[in-house]
Structure 1
Amino acid sequence: MNEDEIKGGARYIGGKIEKAVGDTVNSRDWQVDGVVDQVAGGVQHGYGRARSIVGEAIDGAPELAEEARDRLKAASEQVADVAQKQGKAAAETVRDTPALWALAAALGGYALAWFVHGRRA
């Protein structure tokens, strides 16, 4: 809790008491002053609470950044492992059927050349 939370809460309670006294003695001035103090105290308390929340968020930011960095590192390691496994599987497939892959590469090259240059008459 910070100073604004404490002072705002105290002012709000003081306003409640002031309004109750105004109701008891039937004084319009005390009633109005009590309601004004309640509203002002509530606003000051809310402001103090917001300051506390922001301060806590700022204090917790380094831990959050470290956690995010750790998660990112773990995810990148997982991606690297999967890519390595898939690369090995692709290399084994090419090694097992080199003629098929050579034919596929030739057809791909021909299609690319045809697409780039078009048909010549």
Structure 2
Amino acid sequence: MNENIVEGAVREMGGNVKKAVGDIAEDRELQAEGAGDAAGGRAQKSLGHLQAAVEDTLAPAIDFARRQPLAALGIAAAAGAALFAAFGRKPN
């Protein structure tokens, strides 16, 4: 599990507690602060999930590049050349 997922969940819980205390105390400032903390925690948690998904998606490519660095370099060079040929030259 990603660090941002854990920190975001803790931040969201703390925000929800702060909002509940604000509700009980009828303190609008505390309610708003708690709602903001909870929203920030949800955003941080979402970022953590996105990071984990990217890491999971790229893990096979990174593993291949570590096992076969020259082949990975050749593939990257070929892909770069193809992209340059397709998009690099501008018509006069």
Q: TM-score, normalised by structure 2?
A: 0.64
In structure 1, runs of 5+ residues without a counterpart are 64-121
Match of 1:54 in 2: 54
Match of 1:11 in 2: 11
| Offset from partner CA, 1:28-62 (integer Å, 9 cap, x none) | 11100000001100000000110000001111346
- Map 1:5-44; keep pairs closer than 5 Å: 5-44=5-44
In 1, the alpha carbon distance for the partners of 2:41 and 2:24 equals: 22
The secondary structure found in structure 1 opposite 2:17 is helix
Residue 2 of structure 1 deviates from its aligned partner by 1.0
| Offset from partner CA, 1:63-91 (integer Å, 9 cap, x none) | 8xxxxxxxxxxxxxxxxxxxxxxxxxxxx
Larger radius of gyration: 1
Q: Percent identity?
A: 33
Runs of 4+ in 1 over 3 A off after TM superposition: 60-63
In structure 2, runs of 5+ residues without a counterpart are 65-92
In 2, the alpha carbon distance for the partners of 1:58 and 1:19 equals: 39
The secondary structure found in structure 2 opposite 1:21 is helix
Match of 1:112 in 2: none
Aligned residue pairs, count: 63
For the pair 1:45 / 2:45, whether they are aligned, the reply is yes
The answer to which structure, 1 or 2, has the higher relative contact order (CA under 8 A, 6+ apart) is 2
- Map 1:69-80; keep pairs closer than 5 Å: none
Match of 2:83 in 1: none
Q: In angstroms, what is the RMSD of aligned CA positions?
A: 1.4
